[in-house]
Amino acid sequence: MSETLEKPSVRHIYQNHHMDTRRWDGFKPRADDIVVSTSYKAGTTLTQTIIANMLFPNGDLPEPVMELMPWLDLRMAPLEEVKAKLDAQTHRRCIKTHLPLDGVPFFDEIKYVVVGRDGRDVFMSLVNHYGGHTPQAIAMMNSLPGRVGDPFPPYDGDIHKLWHNWTTRGWFSWESDGYPYWSHLHHAKTWWEFRHLPNIRFIHYNDLRRDLEGEMRKLADYLKIEVPEERWPAVVDACRFETVKANPAKVVNRNVDMLWKGGGDTFIHKGTNGRWKDVLSAQELQLYDAAVKKTLPPDCARWLEHGGPVS
C-alpha cells in the first residue's frame, strides 16, 4: 500500500479531552528537529530519555526529559508557553506527539521516530496510567476551554469492561478501538504506510528491552548524533528502566504529583511485558485479534507484536 501513497497529509483533525491537532498550526520546524510519535504507553518516555541522554552525553540535562521535550498536542500545556519554550531552545530539539500520521503535519526536513509495542502490553500499562490519574487531573482535562467531544470518563476499576471498550470502540468516528483514549492500532497503521520514507524510523519496545545499547547505537546513527565512545556506558545506564525508576525526577515533569497518585513512581511503573496473560481470558483476547485484523495489514500486525527489522 505504501507505494500508492506519495506523501503524508493531515486527513483528520484529532480533538478530544487530551489533544488537539490544531496546536501544530504555525509550527516552524528546524532542519535537525526530532519528533517522537507513539499512540501511548509504548515506550514514549523511554525513547525520549534515550534521545535526551545521547544529545547530552555528559549527564548535564538542563531539565527533566518531559520538560525538555514537550508534548505539543497536549491541551493541558499552555500553547504559547510550549511554543515559546521550543523557540528559545538553542540545542537540538525533540518534540513528542501522540498523533497518528494522518493528524500531524509532516516535514521532509526533520526526522521522525515511531515507537511500537504489542497492544496487549500497551493496554496493561494503560490500566495503571488511567487508573493512576488524580481527580484533579481528570477535572482539569474536562474543564479546559476548547475541549471537543465528550468529557474524559474516570476509570471505574473494571479492567474487563475497559478491555472490551478499548478493543471494540473508537473515540473518533474513523477509529474502531482505543476508547476512552484513541486507537493504538490506527496510529501504527498510519505511520506504517509511509515506512519507506527516509526520515521515518520505527523502533520497538521489545527490541529496546532486549538490546538497549544496540538499539541506542542504531538510533544514534539514524539521528546523526555522535556520542563519545567513552561516554556510551554511562549514557546507556542512564536509560535503563531501573535507573529511571530509581530517580524519576530526571524524567517526569513538574506537575507529576498533581496528575498521578503516587507521582513519578506511578507514571514510571513496571515496564514489563506479558502481564495480560494472567488477566485476560482467551475469549477476551479474541476481541483484540479481531481489532488487529480489522485495522492492520499482516506485516504491520506481526511487527507490532514481535518487533525486529522493518521491511
The average pLDDT across 77-94 equals 96
The average pLDDT across 142-170 equals 96
Residue 26 has pLDDT above 70, yes or no: yes
Q: Is the CATH number of domain 11-306 3.20.20.70?
A: no
The pLDDT value given to residue 270: 56
* Number of other CB atoms surrounding residue 155 within 10 Å: 18
Cβ atoms of 191 and 114 closer than 8 Å: yes
* Number of other CB atoms surrounding residue 4 within 10 Å: 6
pLDDT in tens, 219-251: 999 999 999 999 999 999 999 988 887 777 777
Residue 100 has pLDDT above 50, yes or no: yes
Question: What is the grid cell recorded at 219?
Answer: 538510533
The pLDDT value given to residue 301: 98
The pLDDT value given to residue 211: 96
The average pLDDT across 128-142 equals 91
The average pLDDT across 141-165 equals 96
- Please provide the average confidence, as pLDDT, over all residues in the chain: 92
